[in-house]
Amino acid sequence: MIRPFRRADRDQLTALVNAHAQAVVPGVSVPVNALLDQLEREPGEYLVDPWVVERTTLVAEQRGRVSAAAHLLRYGAGPEVGPALRDTAEIRWLLCWPDSPVWPDASAAGLAVAEAAVAVLHGWRVRRMAADGTVPAPGVYGIPEQWPHVRALLERVGFVRGERCELVYLADVRELPRRSVPLPGLEIVRTLGVAGTRFTARLGGADVGYVEVDTTIGAPGRIASRGDWADVGNLHVEPAHRRRGIGSWLLGEAADWLRLARVPRLLGYCAPDDAGYRAFLERQGFRLLTRTAREWELR
């Protein structure tokens, strides 16, 4: 049976979301209230969320079990909405339990939810229909490679993945190396940046690089886990000063700050074709968690 979400579903739906999130990022867990917040609004999406004019959540109840669910958004068509999302509808996420010997027809529930979700998108009569897998957990978005059953459902109802792909990395902050100052006269300046706390490398009065780390992704009430989280918002070294150890030193300084804050996990993101940055992350001790496919579209 496909029906709208009811508050009585919240525990089973949270379990479904957490099972998918933990297949991608180790140890992450979303509390019930954080999931309910996303169904009603997304406080962290302060730019995009005000553009949403309609939301609905569908669940598949199968012999008393929530076997699948989808959360849908419709964005407005007015000039205040960004061009990329104007008059767009989106499957924010689509999740279902995989088939198992004790529950061999879970994928049938997933397909039923996917078909019902597409019917809602068509009913909204928008110019574009998209899909993603953004649940309220750090590092879980797009359609990660650990969700082949979700990918299969989207393809079966007509979605086509875009060319955009991203790599998600994770580092244990305790293992990130400390670096000595690579150049005489190099100093660190800590300020508020656009994506978290900024650590700027300054040489002779000139800024030669910076890194930003955001610790708000693990704010109280949003994530229940064995520790707190941060991610690398931005990392940049001026071209004339690259390959001199400044990037590694900046990351080490940020790691010292995170250790003082008792934040043990640091996420990083990279495009697959950015070989230089991929190699840099891996040299620092970041481990690849997933490749996630973005920009799914119903054509």
| pLDDT at position 46 | 87
- Asked if 74 and 53 count as a contact pair (C-beta separation under 8 A), the reply is yes
Region of residue 142 (left: phi > 0; alpha: psi -120 to 50; beta: else): left
| pLDDT at position 219 | 55
Phi and psi for 270 in degrees, rounded to 5?
-155, 145
Confidence of residue 226 (pLDDT cuts 50, 70, 90): very low
Residue 235 CA neighbour count, 13 Å, CB half: 22
Q: What is the CATH number of domain 170-292?
A: 3.40.630.30
CA distances from 35 to 31, 167, 211 (A): 7, 24, 30
> What DSSP character marks residue 100?
B
- Asked if 2 and 112 count as a contact pair (C-beta separation under 8 A), the reply is yes
Which letter, b or e, does each residue of 47-83 get, where b requires 16 or more Cβ atoms within 10 Å of its Cβ? eeeebbeebebbbbbbeeebbbbbbbbbbbeeeebee
% of the chain surpassing 70 pLDDT: 97
- Helix-strand-coil split of the chain, %, nearest 5: 30, 35, 35
| pLDDT at position 216 | 85
| pLDDT at position 223 | 52
Answer whether residue 221 shows pLDDT above 80: no
Tens-digit pLDDT profile for residues 83-106: 999 999 999 999 999 999 999 999
Domain 2-160 CATH (choose: 3.20.20.70, 1.10.287.130, 1.10.10.10, 3.40.630.30) = 3.40.630.30
Tens-digit pLDDT profile for residues 130-146: 999 999 999 999 999 99
Q: How does the average pLDDT of the chain come out, rounded? A: 94
What stretch(es) of the chain map to CATH 3.40.630.30? 2-160, 170-292
CA distance 47 to 44: 9
CA distance 68 to 61: 8
Tens-digit pLDDT profile for residues 147-156: 999 999 999 9
Average pLDDT over residues 72-82: 97
- Asked if 292 and 168 count as a contact pair (C-beta separation under 8 A), the reply is yes
Q: What is the pTM for the complete model shown?
A: 0.92
The one-letter amino acid at 242: R
